[in-house]
Chain A
């Protein structure tokens, strides 16, 4: 585990324009582990992630969001948002290195090229986002997020646009690369949560449900019986009416 990766605690209620979104709820994200968050569309998962990232200006949040080391979260996070948010005026390589440029640091071109190779896009380094498929764009956004060497990583449906094979590859890459960091990952895919989660939660209209994750080290094999059972259990929990 990275010594600088703290646990996170969110405690409170969120409203947008007086309308209740979620809460009161209590969520802990353990240090140096991957926590998966599932839940129906519109329940407030993205809102929760953006609140933690400190970029939500529309939501009124009453409560607290804290790190276990009592330090401010600012400057310690990377967020992969639900859309890819690539800059259309930069090529793929430029997009992957935008973080360094925004901080006035030297761009590590070699590391960026290696990262692009890991997401299978080294041949597309000089293309514009407009010339990429949806799944390729999502992988560029993933590479950009992984390039940010931050202890806390927030991922909002990071693999939603990928085919099954690429998706498991990206899950493996992400688990390997983010080992020891505090990761909160929103997903709609029970199989993904069962493979990737050290901890699994379902956000519903009534609150937060905890799900016991299957045993075994992350990323768990796709065909592991216990992982598959957990996946099935998760799916029936998700299908159950609230």
Chain B
């Protein structure tokens, strides 16, 4: 309950600051519209915004799911095989030197203007954080558990599955929490580069037509979506860790 009060209060404070900025700096609505005006637009264009938000949400969620699966498998593969580490890790590190933004036009060229180029963008942006958070945790299994496993006669794959993976799940979870924040960024970049749907597209369109209030309305919906996504991933991870995995 007190948490609800804190959230409400800080939201009210933010809105008040926003309104104060608009009034005190005497900003015209086509530079920065006030919160009331944006809320009005948000309500009036709700069908339009919701339609585009649905597209972006789909891109983000598919990207997140694929990133979790691919990142998880890559981390396990790297942790299991010293050869894979020697060959693939340098490649992964080098790939991080390429700004993901620069790849967006190429992805659009390869995958088209539809959903998949944005999914790929979200995937690209979260793959490394997920993989490295999980991989680092997998490489840091407390030695005494590994010793215990060895004495009990575990082979490599069983040691991985019954000890190293469960012990590393908290690391995987922190990778996923980061991914929940990064994935929407990926999808929006993808939409900016080339799309006919999605919140990123809507924002560009609104900006181009000087509908700044619509742009802000879309921005707020995006922010709220990202926040909710982060909270649900966080909660799901927590529940998962308490439930079947590490506590």
Which residues of A pack against B, CB within 8 Å? 50, 53-55, 75, 77-79, 81, 83, 85, 87-90, 98-99, 101-104, 128, 130, 148
Name B148-178 residues within 8 Å CB distance of A: 148-155, 158-159, 162-163, 166-167, 169
For B55, list chain A residues within 8 Å (CB): none
Nearest chain A CB to B177 CB, angstrom units: 19
Which residues of B pack against A, CB within 8 Å? 144-145, 147-155, 158-159, 162-163, 166-167, 169, 241, 244-247
Cβ contact of B162, chosen from A53, A102, A128, cutoff 8 A: A102
Instruction: Name the CB-closest residue of B to A82.
Output: B144
Q: Is the CB of A75 within 8 A of B247?
A: no
Instruction: Name the CB-closest residue of A to B153.
Output: A103
Instruction: Give A128 to B150 CA distance when docked, in angstroms.
Output: 23
Nearest chain A CB to B91 CB, angstrom units: 30
Instruction: Give A94 to B163 CA distance when docked, in angstroms.
Output: 12
Instruction: Name the CB-closest residue of B to A102.
Output: B154
Can you list 28 A-B contacts (CB < 8 A)? A50-B147, A55-B151, A75-B153, A78-B151, A78-B152, A81-B147, A83-B144, A87-B145, A87-B163, A89-B241, A89-B245, A89-B247, A98-B152, A98-B162, A101-B158, A102-B149, A102-B152, A102-B153, A102-B154, A102-B158, A102-B162, A103-B153, A103-B154, A103-B158, A104-B158, A128-B247, A130-B247, A148-B152
Residue of A53, A78, A83, A98 most packed against chain B (CB within 10 A): A98
Nearest chain A CB to B146 CB, angstrom units: 8
Instruction: Give A194 to B39 CA distance when docked, in angstroms.
Output: 82
Cβ contact of A85, chosen from B148, B150, B154, cutoff 8 A: B148
Nearest chain B CB to A183 CB, angstrom units: 15
Q: Is the CB of A89 within 8 A of B144?
A: no
For A50, list chain B residues within 8 Å (CB): 147
Instruction: Give A154 to B211 CA distance when docked, in angstroms.
Output: 76
Q: Is the CB of A87 within 8 A of B144?
A: no
Q: Is the CB of A77 within 8 A of B162?
A: no
Nearest chain B CB to A49 CB, angstrom units: 11
The B interface is mostly helix, strand or loop, or mixed, namely helix
For A103, list chain B residues within 8 Å (CB): 152-154, 158
For A87, list chain B residues within 8 Å (CB): 145, 163, 166-167
Nearest chain B CB to A145 CB, angstrom units: 10
Nearest chain B CB to A95 CB, angstrom units: 11
Residue of A54, A88, A102, A103 most packed against chain B (CB within 10 A): A102
Q: Is the CB of B147 within 8 A of A89?
A: no
Q: Is the CB of A101 within 8 A of B144?
A: no
Instruction: Name the CB-closest residue of A to B166.
Output: A89
Nearest chain B CB to A1 CB, angstrom units: 23
For A75, list chain B residues within 8 Å (CB): 153
Nearest chain B CB to A15 CB, angstrom units: 19
Nearest chain B CB to A127 CB, angstrom units: 11
Instruction: Give A85 to B244 CA distance when docked, in angstroms.
Output: 19
Q: Is the CB of A89 within 8 A of B152?
A: no
Cβ contact of A88, chosen from B148, B152, B154, B247, cutoff 8 A: B247
Nearest chain B CB to A103 CB, angstrom units: 5
Nearest chain A CB to B225 CB, angstrom units: 32
Q: Is the CB of A55 within 8 A of B246?
A: no
Instruction: Give A68 to B245 CA distance when docked, in angstroms.
Output: 43
Instruction: Give A79 to B149 CA distance when docked, in angstroms.
Output: 11
Instruction: Give A165 to B17 CA distance when docked, in angstroms.
Output: 67
Nearest chain A CB to B231 CB, angstrom units: 24
Cβ contact of A79, chosen from B145, B151, B241, cutoff 8 A: B151
For B244, list chain A residues within 8 Å (CB): 89
Nearest chain B CB to A79 CB, angstrom units: 5
Instruction: Give A54 to B149 CA distance when docked, in angstroms.
Output: 12
The 10 A-B pairs with the shortest beta carbon distances in the complex, nearest first, are A102-B154, A55-B147, A89-B246, A99-B152, A89-B166, A102-B152, A103-B153, A88-B247, A89-B245, A79-B151
Instruction: Give A29 to B245 CA distance when docked, in angstroms.
Output: 40
Nearest chain B CB to A54 CB, angstrom units: 8
